[in-house]
Amino acid sequence: MTYIFDIDGTLTPSRLRIDETFERFFLNFINYKKVWLITGSDKDKTIEQVGEEIWNNVDRAYQCCGNQVWSKGELLKQNDWEIPLDLRFLLEQMLDRSTYPHRFGNHIEERVGLVNFSIVGRNCSQEHRETYFEWDDERSERLEFTKEIKKSFPGIDASVGGQISIDIHPIGRDKGQIIDDIDGNFTFFGDKLEEGGNDYPVLLENTKRELEGNEFFSVKSWKETNNLLLSILQQGIL
């Protein structure tokens, strides 16, 4: 059995460091279980959040939605991609069209195999991150922008990720590609498993392939993940 965890909103608060008590618990968990991480973030941001000890001890770390794969410090795979100029132009138009009043820079961030797009900008403070998340939760701006991107560029996919951003990449280069590497059954924990979220492709790919025996847990915070793992351990399910 492979246990797969998203990071933002699942193991940590969005873009923040993992809770110290939960970190100790999770380190003990990965000593006994086969654990993979998957996130839209790059290696450096992930290590900032979960720490080097967790990152170096999980069996695999899937960065940038699985477009860069590491195992205990060794790079296993990397899918490079450069954003098309007309897509960049559309994103700049969206920045102008958005009615959200604040901008803080770093709106179009190129990562390995994908582009991370944020209206408020990745340089914003935690307070503004949460303010935008609440604003977007009422208006679904990010979800509407993902639909527009996919309609304008048939070969490109887009999904809502974290609190403030959209992940954009070629079709098939999403988190669902992790299933190609799994041998046997898996259990997945994520906070964006709804349609349009960047964890959803894992669920969708599982459904398309008619795979059986796999479990998906939708969580909204690291505390839910912690409580869920404790409950499952107590029941002797893991």
Catalytic residue check, 86? no
CB-CB contact of 15 with 7 (8 Å): no
CA separation for the pair 81, 69 (Å, rounded): 15
Domains located in the chain, CATH noted = 2-78+174-235 (3.40.50.1000), 85-170 (3.30.1240.20)
Q: Write down the mean pLDDT value for the chain.
A: 95
pTM: predicted TM-score of the whole model, two decimal places:
0.91
Is 221 a residue whose pLDDT tops 60? yes
Could you tell me which of 187, 192, 188 has the C-alpha nearest to residue 221?
192
The phi, psi pair for 83, rounded to 5°, reads: -65, 130
The model's pLDDT over 127-167, given as tens digits with 9 standing for 90+, comes to: 999 999 999 999 999 999 999 999 999 999 999 998 999 99
Is 238 a residue whose pLDDT tops 60? no
CA separation for the pair 68, 75 (Å, rounded): 8
The first and second tokens of residue 90, run together, are: 């559309």
pLDDT at 237: 59
pLDDT at 194: 93
Could you tell me which of 9, 35, 31, 11 has the C-alpha nearest to residue 23?
11
CA separation for the pair 10, 193 (Å, rounded): 11
CA separation for the pair 172, 25 (Å, rounded): 34
pLDDT at 232: 80
Is 236 a residue whose pLDDT tops 90? no
pLDDT at 234: 82
